[in-house]
Amino acid sequence: MPLTLPEVDNTVIESKDKIVDDLSKITKNIIHSEDEIKPYETDGLSVYRQKPIAVVLPETTDQVSKILKYCYEKKIKVVPRGAGTGLSGGSIPLADCILLGMGKFNKILETDFDNRCVVAQPCVANLAITQAVEYKNFYYAPDPSSQLACSIGGNVAENSGGVHSLKYGTTTNNLMGVEIVLMDGTILKLGGKHLDSEGYDLLGLITGSEGLLGVVTEVTVRILKKPESVRAVLIGFNSIEDSGNCVADIIAKGIVPAGMEIMDKPLIIATDNYAKAGYPRDVEALLIVELDGTSSEVDTLIEKVLDIAKMNKASYNRASNSDEERIRFWKGRKAAFTACGVLAPDYICMDGSIPRNKLADVLGYINKLSKKYKLNVANCFHAGDGNLHPLIMFDSNDPEELKKAEDFGADILKYCVKVGGVLSGEHGIGVEKRELMCEMFNDNDIQQQLNIKNAFDEKNLLNPGKVFPILHRCAEGGRMHIHKGRDKFPDLPRF
């Protein structure tokens, strides 16, 4: 599958031997043979593949700084990579880049219960942080479904969320500090074990910047005490509309559940077949609501939620009575992606966020598109925070199907924006959605973001070709700000 990436600098490719030789003076961990490099040619968006000139695996911040400084001086592009689980192609290499693999930064440096935080290297898996502190009943709240494998540094890059974001926020709300290295080798500490920062909130800006502004070499996250009681309830509906209305009513009644997930019928069947979660199979939509707090609080809220469900014509409900049962409720949902793998040779997972009250509208539109493109789709939805994950199924052996699946996905995201939503809730833009940025932003908006990129990386060497459209200007949509016939920024570089 061809992917348009920034223009290749052939002089860099021709200088490969010299570059590898120079970098080997900084670290011996360099992979550059064709065979060994193959595992690094893609990430979680595996339809795109590209080999870099070399993979460098530093072990210390000092090495990262020296590598970046060297590349900065020699004008060599660098693509940072954590665990490589990202779904938007954010760490797909370029033909003339050094892939900076952070895999050896895999240690938890400090579990600081007094300050209720953990200091970790960026390639520590998300779940490993919780595992490191759960012996004292603490945990790290953001829990993307790939939490077993995805790295905490990658979570910072993509501002990852998970099923509990409604109550506990995403990475940005749980991140206290980072150490980053800028493209010119400058090492900076942002934030720390205190709350908030003085000066510009660079920590907030770095979070979700998809590896374009700096390379994270250390992360400090806050940890929380596990709630005393956690219970979940399964609620079935005969229509998606009813499930969406139920979610809106729960929020309107002032209840903030720890998580609220909706699956449509195709996904209910697929996940139940796969995970034997015990889901009802005769409903059109299944809502999982998880509540946490003290025992009495959770019991009270479960009753309230069930009352609201009844008012919204729920046809099925079951509340968990043990932690084992609650985990079983989640087992199907958490296996959604794997379960879809059984239904079709390939699928792409989309990731848009929409206002909660547009759920039925958007799902109706997706079903229409499914018929138009003649491709099956299953839907799961972080209903509490409006984050939709349609899984579009196709067969990559048929090149036309991939193209159809991509167009299908793009149409979904455009519709998300049209109803007041955004292109990505938690997977990021990467290469996957960069050409759709003009659906949300005009030329001024994009230019402001590029100016920021320029402030951090004026040579545009760090992860170029990601996030921002490179095939056309957003001005083509005719929305550029022209004042009295003049472009306000004639001197600024355009992309």
Partner 1 sequence: MSEIFYPKDEQDVSDFIFDSFNKNNPIEIIGHGSKKIGRIIQCSQTLSLKSMNGILEYFPEELYIKVLPGTPLNFIESALKEKNQNLGFEPNDLGYIYKGQSDPGSIGGVVSCNLSGPGRFKNGALRDHVLGFKAVNGSGAKIKSGGTVVKNVTGYDLSKIVTGSYGTLCAITEINLKVSPIPDFEETFVINNLNYIEAIDIFNKALDSSLEISGACFFSEDNVSFLTLNDVKKDTSILGLRIQGPKPSVVERIQVLNKMFKDQPTYVLDTYQTVIFWREIKNLEGYAKSENFICKISLPITNMGNFLKHFQNLKFKYFLDWGGNIAWCEIHNNRDLDQMRIFCLKHDGYLTVIKANDNFRQREDFLTNSNSNLKILSKKLKESFDPKSILNPNKMYLGI
Q: Is 478 in the site for partner 1 (CB under 8 A)?
A: no
Q: Which residues contact 445 (CB under 8 A, 6 or more apart)?
A: 474
481 lies in the binding site for partner 1 (CB under 8 A): yes
By CB under 8 A, name the one of 27, 46, 69, 169 that touches partner 1: 169
Question: Site for partner 1 (CB under 8 A): which residue of 166, 181, 287, 363?
Answer: 166
DSSP state at residue 422: B
What would the 3-class secondary structure string for 296-317 be? Answer: HHHHHHHHHHHHHHHHCCEEEE
The answer to the question of residue 423 lying near partner 1 (CB under 8 A) is yes
65 makes contact with partner 1 (CB under 8 A): no
Q: Identify the three-state secondary structure at position 446.
A: helix
Q: How many CB atoms lie within 10 A of CB 263?
A: 27
Residue 228 in the binding site for partner 1 (CB under 8 A): yes
User: Of 263, 272, 261, 262, which Cα lies nearest the Cα of 342?
Assistant: 272
* 242 near partner 1, judged by CB under 8 A: no
For 84, phi then psi, to 5°, come to 75, 25
Please say which residue, 35 or 196, places its beta carbon nearer to partner 1: 196
**Which residue blocks in 57-192 are alpha helix, DSSP H?**
61-74, 126-133, 152-158, 165-168, 171-174
SS3 138: strand
Asked if 196 is part of the footprint of partner 1 (rule: CB under 8 A), the reply reads: yes
Question: Does the footprint of partner 1 cover residue 159 (CB under 8 A)?
Answer: yes
Applying the rule CB under 8 A, the residues between 244 and 303 that interact with partner 1 are 248-249, 251-252, 254-256, 293-297, 300-301
Rule CB under 8 A: say whether 429 interacts with partner 1: yes
Binding segment toward partner 1, per CB under 8 A, in 223-231, 261-269, 333-341, 368-376: 223-231
Q: Choose which of 173, 238, 317, 367 interacts with partner 1 (CB under 8 A).
A: 173
Q: Which of residues 20-39 bind partner 1 (CB under 8 A)?
A: none
Q: For partner 1, give the closer residue by CB, 370 or 463.
A: 463
Asked if 477 is part of the footprint of partner 1 (rule: CB under 8 A), the reply reads: no
**Which residues inside 102-141 make contact with partner 1, applying CB under 8 A?**
112-116, 137
- Selected binder of partner 1 within 143, 242, 401, 426 (CB under 8 A): 426
Query: Which residues sit opposite 388 in a β-bridge?
Result: 352, 381
To which H or E segment does residue 271 belong? helix 265-275
Determine the 3-state secondary structure of 429 from DSSP. Answer: coil
For residues 454 and 204, what is the distance between their CA atoms, to the nearest angstrom?
Answer: 17
Among 211, 236, 257, 428, binds partner 1 (CB under 8 A): 428
Total residues interacting with partner 1, rule: CB under 8 A: 94
- CB 129, CB 120: distance < 8 Å: yes
292's tokens: 């946490």
Q: Does 208 bind partner 1 (CB under 8 A)?
A: yes
Hey, which residues between 369 and 408 contact partner 1 (CB under 8 A)? 382, 385-387
- Strands 229-237 and 285-293, by their bridges, are antiparallel
Q: Kindly state the smallest distance separating residue 18's Cβ from partner 1, in Å.
A: 30
- The yes or no reply on residue 421 touching partner 1 (CB under 8 A) is yes
Residue in 152, 275, 362, 437 binding partner 1, rule: CB under 8 A = 437
Find the part of the chain contacting partner 1 (CB under 8 A) among 25-33, 340-348, 371-379, 418-426. Answer: 418-426
Rounded CA separation 475/494 (Å)? 11
Question: Which of 249, 260, 265, 248 shows the shortest CA–CA distance to 358?
Answer: 248
Torsion angles phi and psi, residue 209, rounded to 5: -90, 5
Exactly one of 50, 271, 379, 447 binds partner 1 (CB under 8 A); which one? 447
